[in-house]
Copies of this chain bind each other. A is one copy, B any other.
Amino acid sequence: MPDPVLISEVGPRDGLQSIDRVMPLEAKIDWITAEAAAGVREIEVGSFVNYRAMPQMADTAALVEAACRIDGLAVAVLVPNLTGARAALKSGAHKLSLPLSASETHSQRNVNRSHAQVLEEIAQIRAAVDAVPEETRPHFEVGIATAFGCSIEGAVPEAKVVQLAEAALAAGAAEVGLSDTTGYANPAMIRARIRAVRAAVGDKLTGVHLHNTRGLGLANALAALDEGIRTLDASLGGLGGCPAAPGASGNIVTEDLAFMLDAMGFETGIDLDRLARTREILARALPGEPLYGFLADAGVPLGHGSQTQDAA
């Protein structure tokens, strides 16, 4: 029986927000169109932030409009606050994701709000979402940022992460995810925190967002899969970072994650060769920008796909 895993591509948001250059709208559309054609089923295309502070995201509404025309693609956006959520609702995005940072210092730097203020805004966003007719109402989730540690505050207590996950759901998020914004996680911590959050909120914890800052990204992904997580964010070429978290660097690499899942017998719906070729769009649009990952160079193993006896 196939065990499906959803890879949510976050490169057009998390990747491009970490690069000063502004990628032209047409290149973004080419990118997401090519990834969707390769079988990627969900893409976070941008962020409804203040475009003066982050001009890379200024075309998010136009990009959502284009992305929503791609058949079968779930179009996600990041919203930092109620203003962003209102813009997202207007755009027609299918999914709104709001960061609630476990580190209050990071929360202040990232969205200029305390925990209490973010939780209040979650409730307001819930109300705004519920005002949308049911047939076009988007999904609203909260990602617990810096859930495994903060490069400003240092260690983040597990109990704080659990408490904020509960509070976000109580305030109106439909589900929560855990984000290793800073690349601080390790597999033991991933397992322990997923278990702790699951013990409190059950299957309302659905996904993880991992960075590869210390090379542990896919090991952490494996730990999350072992705990039953079936939605993982990743970024083509590993682009990524967080402007508000010093030292944060790239996300786990979509191509390498897709290969790992495929090799393990999970079903991602992704054509690895087509996915690897979408890197060319990035390379052309962002000349000189380092792209990470191994699969694109190494290719799949000889005989890959014929070893069903080793499937998970």
Among the 9-residue stretches A24-32, A68-76, A170-178, A211-219, the one with 4 or more Cβ atoms under 8 Å from chain B is A211-219
Does residue A287 face the partner (Cβ distance < 8 Å to B)? Answer: no
Are A249 and B186 closer than 8 Å at their CB atoms?
Answer: no
Are A151 and B301 closer than 8 Å at their CB atoms?
Answer: yes
Are A213 and B298 closer than 8 Å at their CB atoms?
Answer: yes
> How near does chain B come to A154, taking the closest CB pair, in angstroms?
3
Does residue A264 face the partner (Cβ distance < 8 Å to B)? Answer: yes
Q: Mask for A277-312, Cβ within 8 A of B = 1, else 0?
A: 000000000000000011100110111001101111
| 13 A-B residue pairs with CB within 8 Å | A149-B301, A152-B302, A158-B309, A186-B263, A186-B310, A188-B311, A214-B295, A215-B256, A216-B218, A216-B256, A219-B260, A222-B222, A249-B298
| Other-chain residue from B214, B256, B307, B311 in contact with A259 (beta carbon distance below 8 A) | B214
Closest 3 CB pairs of A and B: A154-B303, A215-B294, A186-B263
Q: How far is the CA of A268 from the CA of B307 in the complex (A)?
A: 34
> How near does chain B come to A230, taking the closest CB pair, in angstroms?
15
Interface of A with B (CB < 8 Å)? 149-155, 158, 182-184, 186-189, 192-193, 212-216, 218-219, 221-223, 226, 247, 249, 253, 256, 259-260, 263-265, 293-295, 298-299, 301-303, 306-307, 309-312
> How near does chain B come to A303, taking the closest CB pair, in angstroms?
3
Are B149 and A264 closer than 8 Å at their CB atoms?
Answer: no
> How near does chain B come to A163, taking the closest CB pair, in angstroms?
15
Are A149 and B294 closer than 8 Å at their CB atoms?
Answer: no
> How near does chain B come to A115, taking the closest CB pair, in angstroms?
20
Residues in B with CB closer than 8 Å to A307 are 149, 155, 189
Are B158 and A310 closer than 8 Å at their CB atoms?
Answer: yes
> How near does chain B come to A238, taking the closest CB pair, in angstroms?
9
| Other-chain residue from B155, B189, B221, B247 in contact with A298 (beta carbon distance below 8 A) | B247
Q: How far is the CA of A226 from the CA of B226 in the complex (A)?
A: 11
9 more CB-based (< 8 A) A-B contacts, given A155-B302, A186-B264, A214-B301: A149-B302, A155-B306, A188-B263, A188-B312, A189-B264, A192-B310, A214-B260, A215-B260, A247-B299
